[in-house]
Amino acid sequence: MVKFNRFTLDNGLRVIVHEDSTTPMAVLNILYDVGARDEDPGQTGFAHLFEHLMFGGSVNIPDYDQPLQRVGGENNAFTSNDITNYYITLPSANIETAFWLESDRMLSLAFSKKSLEVQRNVVIEEFKQRYLNQPYGDVWLHLRPMVYKNHPYQWATIGKEIKHIEDAKIEDVKAFFKKHYNPQNAIMVVGGDVKTEEVKQMAEKWFGPIPAGEKYHRNLPQEPDQHEERRETVTAKVPLNDVYIAFQMGGRLDEQYYVCELMSDILSRGNSSRLYRKLVREKHLFSEIHAYMSGSLDKGMFVFEGKPLENVSVETAEAAIWEELERLKTEDIPDHELTKVKNKTESTMIFSEMSLLDKAMNLASFELLGDAGLMNEETGKYLAVTGEEIKQQANKIFRRDNSSTLIYLAEKVA
Amino acid sequence: MPNDQMILHRKTAPEFKTVDHVNLVKPVHQKLDNGCNVFCFNSGDQELVRIEWVFSNLRFNPAKPLLNAATVNMLTEGTTSLSSTEIADKIDFYGAFLQVDYGHDHSQVILYSLNKHLHHTLPVVLDILTDSIFPARELETFVRNQQQKLQVSLQKNDFMARRLYNKALYGDTIYGLCAECDDYNALNREDMQAHFKEMIQPSNCTLIMAGKIEKDTQELVTNTFDKAWTNAEKKADISQPELQSSTEHFYFTKKPDALQSAIRMGRRIINRTHPDFPALQVLNTVLGGYFGSRLMANIREDKGYTYGIGSGMTSLKQTGSIFIATEVGADVCKAAITEIEKEVNKLRAELIPEEELSLVRNFMLGSLLGSLENVFSHADKFKNLYFSGLDYDYYDRYIEIVKTVSAAELKSLAEQYLDSSQFYKVIVGKY
């Protein structure tokens, strides 16, 4: 159970406070309700590039990192297809420094040309390091456009291509800031060794004067249901073949989300899971296999990913995955197995309360979903899932005409 | 009129405090009759616990380089009474997590469990530690899967660079291990069982538990692992052959298609037991130990050559090292190395400006405080000390040195330890 207090400033900034006096530290986490899905198709990768630019100095503070390090703090950020999230941890005695820094960059950036130029290069190197210069690194650049034909989830957060990043201009950066970075579009969580009253005062003092800005109304093209089997084969300089099968599924707010999560646990969580037991250990078909969900806010992906052993054909490997899916669709789930995944989920929830930063990030995410309090209802929702519901979801999702299969074929190199 | 408090000075940083002390949770020590040392950290609100059984690795045998790692990694793969499946199923059913982890000096079995399920999960661990049998069928699977994983890793430039670097620094020893796919084929059950008997015994084990541990929980653990767990006849041989650094200092592996080159450079220096270690950590932080470091500021934030660059220090039982690692655009590899060397040499030639040094001091102390997130972190801090043969005084001394070491002292340490002409240099990609 994670307790919190909540208030909203006049300019629309939502603030959540989680008091935890067992630590001498504090966290300030700001979630901006903007992700790669909000990008223009001709300017992909922009939300993430922008995240880098948020560290290039703000209107009154030329350097973001140094003053924070000087007070013993650390920070980082990440961008997903849905959100951009910034966080600071620091000794709680110095929490005001975090308010000072974060409020100034919400007020306005420095928009330095040098910063843009350098961060373009840094992001291009990131593109190479994570997506192009790694075996199988470009998988999402292939798979996303197969699953999504309309929705902007068809590109990865890094962007469709390096050129989009190279082309970014300072005017674009300014326009993006104006559109998305304002109090109405943000959720702040302050946690750790803090008191709600103090947080309220500091929030009013530092964030209160920031103009509300214009509200961004999201109106994205939605992805229609899939009714045909999709398939692609890529030959690449990779050491082993690799099989990916992605299915469309509901979004994070879909009431069946929890059912799907337990279904993915049954299939792939831990060494007792079905895919690992059957396909890796018993039938000796794969060296590794995983199932997971993208967890996105709009229509999501349920993904299978496995590397067949060298003597196993891709066809055999694929057929074995489908066989397990058919089992899930037709056979009842033993009580023992369902209890197992529920127990695991319950203990994971308790273990996650050991981390202040995780708690703060989770509170922000749930507030974005509509209510931070949902965080404390999670366990109950998992425990309520029935075997019959899992079977229904399996039948709904794991259809050939809802699948996108991507095969990596190893081009043998010496 | 707004009062003074309401006038915002956005250009001026708020007042701040420096960290001047850190409260560490210290363990309760107990030695069991079978020789196993137990350390217990009781703190936290959540009804859960992490228990680690830490074993010293046995003497490295170059003819059987993977024996130690494979024995440890296969501990969860079957006992006389429990199959691999049954072990996995029991652990998962009770919502626990069981990991085995092979390190340079020690290997460990780690259990994360809710307290209420410990009486189900502990017996599984006892069974693993006393009666692992390394079933032939599971070994076969292990070998095949590890070989496939290694093939993928060998395509990654940073993985290659790390291997080559370790091999150059430490030679044919446990630290320099550079396994090839073929080495897996040499593994056999008999060797593993013998290795298991000698290594996994109470007199070679340190048991560290952390979490909400009241008296009854502690007793449950110690009772389980005392009488039912006995020593083998042969004492564990945990001596190690001497490290052999290579005379060749430069290694380049060409990858014609590389978009980026992995660079790793550095040298062997002292470990944590040496009095210079904390001050060298300050020097390392200045160079590449935080986001605002000189390497990041120059090579990422000014030149844009890389997504990330950093330096680090390792403290091992037999030695320590300082290294710099990055992946840079293939076309700027030479330029990046020049800049790295420039930054290293600057530490030897110039005093670190007081403003930068005070920032690093504060950053390091804040970071120490922040690293104590929960009771597990307190246990981790203890492990750093205990396995280096140090006392809690170490952290008092560490804090004192971080606060007071002078720019002149740091310069002289750089002169002594950071001669880039003595660095090993490994490049995988294009050069």
**Nearest-CA distance from A214 to chain B in Å?**
23
Q: Give yes or no for a contact between A209 and A241, defined as CB atoms under 8 angstroms apart.
A: no
**Nearest-CA distance from A97 to chain B in Å?**
6
Residues 296-325 of A with CB under 8 A from B: 307, 309-310
> Computed from CA positions of residues A322, A323, A327, A329, in that sequence, does the dihedral angle turn out positive or negative?
positive
> Computed from CA positions of residues B371, B375, B381, B383, in that sequence, does the dihedral angle turn out positive or negative?
negative
For the cut 60, the answer to whether the pLDDT of residue A414 exceeds it is no
CB-CB neighbors (< 8 A) of A121 in chain B: 303-305
* pTM for this prediction: 0.93
For the cut 90, the answer to whether the pLDDT of residue A135 exceeds it is no
CB-CB neighbors (< 8 A) of A273 in chain B: 92
Residues 127-166 of A with CB under 8 A from B: 128-130, 132-135
State how far the Cα of A275 lies from the Cα of A304, in Å rounded to an integer.
Answer: 10
Rounded mean pLDDT, A106-111: 94
State how far the Cα of A172 lies from the Cα of A180, in Å rounded to an integer.
Answer: 12
For the cut 70, the answer to whether the pLDDT of residue A248 exceeds it is yes
Q: Six-digit token pair at B234?
A: 């042969």
CB-CB neighbors (< 8 A) of B13 in chain A: 67, 70-71, 97, 100
CA A366 to chain CA centroid, Å, is 13
CB pairs under 8 A between A and B: 220
CB-CB neighbors (< 8 A) of B301 in chain A: 118, 122
Best probe of the A interface among B155, B293, B300, B378, by most A CBs < 10 A, is B155
State how far the Cα of B321 lies from the Cα of B104, in Å rounded to an integer.
Answer: 13
Looking at the partner chain, which of A126, A309, A344 has a beta carbon nearest the beta carbon of B144? A309
The pLDDT of residue B1: 41
The pLDDT of residue A413: 53
Q: Six-digit token pair at B93?
A: 């059913």
- Looking at the complex, does the CB of residue B250 fall below 8 Å from at least one CB of chain A? no
The pLDDT of residue B4: 47
**Nearest-CA distance from B97 to chain A in Å?**
9
The pLDDT of residue A306: 97
Q: Give yes or no for a contact between A263 and A394, defined as CB atoms under 8 angstroms apart.
A: yes
Which residue positions in chain B have pLDDT lower than 70? 1-6
- Write down the mean pLDDT value for chain A: 95
- Interchain CB distance below 8 Å, B16 and A71: yes
pLDDT in tens, A174-224: 999 999 999 999 999 999 999 999 999 999 999 999 999 999 999 999 999
Task: Tell me the H-state helices in A353-386.
Answer: 356-369, 378-383
Looking at the partner chain, which of A121, A133, A239 has a beta carbon nearest the beta carbon of B259? A133
First to last CA, chain A: 55
The pLDDT of residue B75: 98
For the cut 90, the answer to whether the pLDDT of residue A274 exceeds it is yes
Residues 13-42 of B with CB under 8 A from A: 13-19, 23
Looking at the partner chain, which of A100, A135, A288 has a beta carbon nearest the beta carbon of B14? A100
- Looking at the complex, does the CB of residue B181 fall below 8 Å from at least one CB of chain A? no
Residues 60-89 of A with CB under 8 A from B: 60-61, 65-67, 69-75, 89
Q: Give which of A291, A407, A265, A231 is closest to A345, Cα–Cα.
A: A265
Instruction: Give a three-class secondary structure readout of A181-236.
Output: CCHHHEEEEEEECCCHHHHHHHHHHHCCCCCCCCCCCCCCCCCCCCCCCEEEEEEE
- Looking at the complex, does the CB of residue B4 fall below 8 Å from at least one CB of chain A? no
